[in-house]
Structure 1
Amino acid sequence: MYLSTIDRPPRGRAGRGLRAIGVNVVVLGAVSLLTDVSAEMVTAVLPLYFVLTLHLSPAAYGLMDGLHTGATALLRLAGGYVADRLRRRKAVAAAGYGISALAKLGLLAAGASMPALGAVIVADRAGKGLRTAPRDALITLSVPEPLLGRAFGIHRAMDSMGAFAGPLAALGVLAAVGAATPAAFDALFLTSFCVAVAGLLVLAAFARDRRDRRPAAFPVTLRAAGGLLRAAGVRRLLYAAGLLGLATIGDGFVYLLLMARQSMPTGWFPLLAVGTNLVYLLLAAPFGALADRYGRRTVLLAGYAALLAVYLLLCSALPAVLVTVAALCCYGAFYAATDGVLMALAGPLLPTDLRTTGLACVQTAQALAYLASSLAFGLAWTNWGSTAATGAAAIAAAVAATATAALLTGRRTTVENAP
């Protein structure tokens, strides 16, 4: 085992640019780009579909939004463990991408049935739960540690290209078929399915798994996986991921609050996600490089400061247009500074043979906390009103960031060659 400071930038020199990052990261980025075009076509209109078309209350939407992210948390752990046990991270990721693609067809059949919609959303998130940790583990195993921030920054930039294009594609479909009509939503779901299949084909044809011929350093067992929690650095990271998840209320709520401040036609609702993802796209790679240079913890905390700024803007009495522009810029910066950076921070703490399981644990802690946060915010909005609920979210974000700064300060212990 070795000891190092959790926020110290990795030592050593490595090449720069795409050649140093490697082909595998770019291929995985292309897969994520296509998948996010598909996913964001749907995600960008779900708040509109649920609240304005199906007339769900904020509390009911909070339940659906929580299911969208947190209800498959245990499946993340199972997928991570299976990927490590079989040493087939690409195959497990492909299964996840396939399930999410099929879920888009499920939306066509679900109609306005709440149980059916819930089941389809859980299936879609089951796919995401299966694929995310194996994909991120492949990234950490494809590049040297000093370049992990850059690698995740490039991957997340490509991912956000899809997230940027998805709402625009949704807007195009809604405009072509007829905004907010059942036929328009059906056409959107079918188009989303076709794009998801294209991403799956790219993964199958071009991504490369890291399957070493050498035997594993130790048997990948449930006992060994549980042993990850004996490392103090891993435990602190899990606590921090949970706290940060509790501080996040979700995109749909942010965009609904922004829409409520101004008279925006419902058909333009997806443009709010476009604004966020444009900023994310522009900042993901630079923030990843900054994380490698100045410390991943520092950039991560700066991201949650940006999230706090979003909540404060939503509570403010500033002009609606100014709030919208500033909030979308801060929200995009939040994602750019946190999403890939947290994985780059976690990767080096984890042994290679349990890398996917460990990343799945971090993602699960965040997803479960997000489920609780989404439910709580929906209830708070219903009972207290949107302003008081957003103020409570701002307090939660400030407390979570402060606690995370303390948790991720100090020393970490990484066990590389023993269960």
Structure 2
Amino acid sequence: MRVSSVVVALGFVSLLTDISSEAVSAVLPLFITGALGMSTLTYGFVDGLMQGATALVRVVGGWASDRGDHPKWVAFLGYGVSALTRAGLLLASGFLAITALVAVDRVGKGMRTAPRDAMIAASSDPRTLGRSFGVHRTFDTVGAALGPLAAFVVLWAIPNGYRTVFVISFGCAVLGLAVLGLMVPDLRPRRAAWLERHRVREERGLPKCKGCTCDLTALAPGGKQSFSWRFLTEPGVRRLMGVAGLLALLTVGDGFVYLSLQTRDGFASKWFPLLYVGTNAAYMCLATPMGRLADRIGRAKVFVASHVALLGAYLCAAVVGGGTASTVATLALLGLFYAGTDGVLSALAGRLAGPAVRGSAIGTAQGVVAGSRMCASWLFGLAWFTLGRSPAMLLVAGLLAVAVPVAWRTLRPLDARLRTQAAA
């Protein structure tokens, strides 16, 4: 079964945008700790800000998408904000200005993510939703691999050529915005769900709803909707949010893992962007297979089990004198972790909530994860500063080893519930 053309078009948008954003992100950890001479505690603050700046905005983006029933234009606004920050980076100088612009870029990312994922869910067959998200994440990750690769080539050819990286970043951001505006249709999930429900009623010979008083009143096209966060009180949604937040609190930012590898092995700084390429290459190869696996055996199972790969990455990064094999294993395990969690979380949240609040549910789940990862970066930066590199990594690995079985037991019933809903 083929994926929707909407998924493919959104994949190209994400590919171009991720070339733009990841080219900048790939040089940031080394730029802060190397070129600017800041400590890992400072980088922990910046990395946490990058993670947390998206938390509340993801929820707002999902809410705006559901409220107005025009997710494309909410996403367009988010992509536009990010494109403007690329132009700002060409003019900015100094640590504070660059950090502020990167934080604003993350706000744009948070604004666009939930509406984009809501469009993927609305245009896909529910039975192959994991596959659709996997295909999109494959496109996304191609861009995420090409961005650091472009940064590596620029820095190889032009030492300290950060401005050139920013020019490339701005151009790709503008192209991605153009593809979204011109090639992605203005899907209206709320209207489509309402029409489908009433079409089925008519085919079955059921009487028409007088004044549309059925349980999808809020989905009526053109009708005013009284938005409700009641979906957050549903047991399945609460379980997902709680477990996702707990596991994200034990998810160290990639930049810390890469800094750990460089600190341990002492390789030249010009090779640093290639660490991002390695992780994203693994993610790119595994995103679609992991999405298919999630559709087949259960999305909750795959989501939780993928954190075992993250645990393995921490242990590899903590090893003293690990060398090339340990570095490659770390990058592969990180790619596997993202392939089994990123799109799968959106697929889970999108199926647990109804069409009227799908964007809000996805945005809330992503916001919980972003907020928890912000705290994780701050706490890990402090742990590294006080305990040292290897003890800090082993500490978070031990905590994650305890959390994964708890998460597995908590989320396991969700897969059976979703299978029952799909069969109904």
TM-score, normalization by structure 2: 0.88
The equivalent residue for 1:170 is 151
Tell me if the contact between 2:353 and 2:361 (Cα under 8 Å) persists in the aligned partners.
Answer: yes
Question: Is residue 105 of structure 1 aligned with residue 59 of structure 2?
Answer: no
| Structure 2 match to 1:144 | 125
Paired with 1:357 and 1:210, the residues of 2 have a C-alpha distance of: 16
Moved more, 261-270 or 87-96: 261-270
| Aligned equivalent of 1:235 | 238
The equivalent of 1:75 in structure 2 is 57
- Measure the CA separation in 2 of the matches of 1:148 and 1:142: 9
- The alpha carbon displacement at 1:100 in A equals 0.7
- Is the CA contact 1:138–1:209 (under 8 Å) kept in the aligned structure 2? no
1:359 corresponding residue in structure 2: 362
Contact 1:69 1:367 in 2 (8 A): yes
Segments ≥4 residues shifted beyond 3 Å: 213-216, 218-225, 411-414
1:35 partnered with 2:38: no
- Quick one: percent identity of the two aligned structures? 45
Alignment of structure 1 residues 9-408 onto 2, 5 Å: 16=1, 20-114=2-96, 116-176=97-157, 178-179=158-159, 181=160, 184-211=161-188, 212=191, 214=194, 217-219=216-218, 224-317=227-320, 319-408=322-411
Distance 1:413 1:328, change over 3 A: closer
What SS does the aligned partner of 2:251 have?
coil
**8 Å contact kept, 2:264–2:320:** no
Q: 1:101, 1:196 within 8 Å by CA — same for their partners in 2?
A: yes
Cα distance in structure 1, aligned partners of 2:21 and 2:81: 12
Give the Cα separation in 2 of the matches to 1:59 and 1:127.
25
Query: What runs of 5+ residues in structure 2 fail to find an aligned partner?
Result: 196-211
Q: Give 1:219 shift.
A: 3.7
Confirm or deny: 8 A CA contact 2:265 2:321 kept in the other structure. Answer: no
* Cα distance change of structure 1 residues 153 and 72 upon mapping to structure 2, 3 Å threshold: closer
Q: Write the letter of the residue equivalent to 1:59.
A: L
Paired residues of 1:349 and 1:413 also in contact (CA < 8 A): no
Query: What 5-or-longer segments of structure 1 have no aligned partner?
Result: 1-15
How many Å separate the matches in 2 of 1:252 and 1:155? 24
Residue identity matched to 2:68:
L
Residue 225 of structure 1: how far off its partner (Å): 3.2
Q: Deviations over 1:206-258 (max 9, x none)?
A: 11232236489244899743211111101111101101211211110011111
Report the alpha carbon displacement of residue 66 of structure 1 after superposing the two structures with TM: 0.7
In structure 2, C-alpha distance between the alignment counterparts of 1:400 and 1:280, rounded to whole Å = 23
TM-score by length of 1: 0.90
CA distance in structure 2 between the aligned counterparts of 1:84 and 1:49, rounded to whole angstroms: 39
Map of 1:11 onto structure 2: none
Give RMSD over aligned pairs.
Answer: 1.9
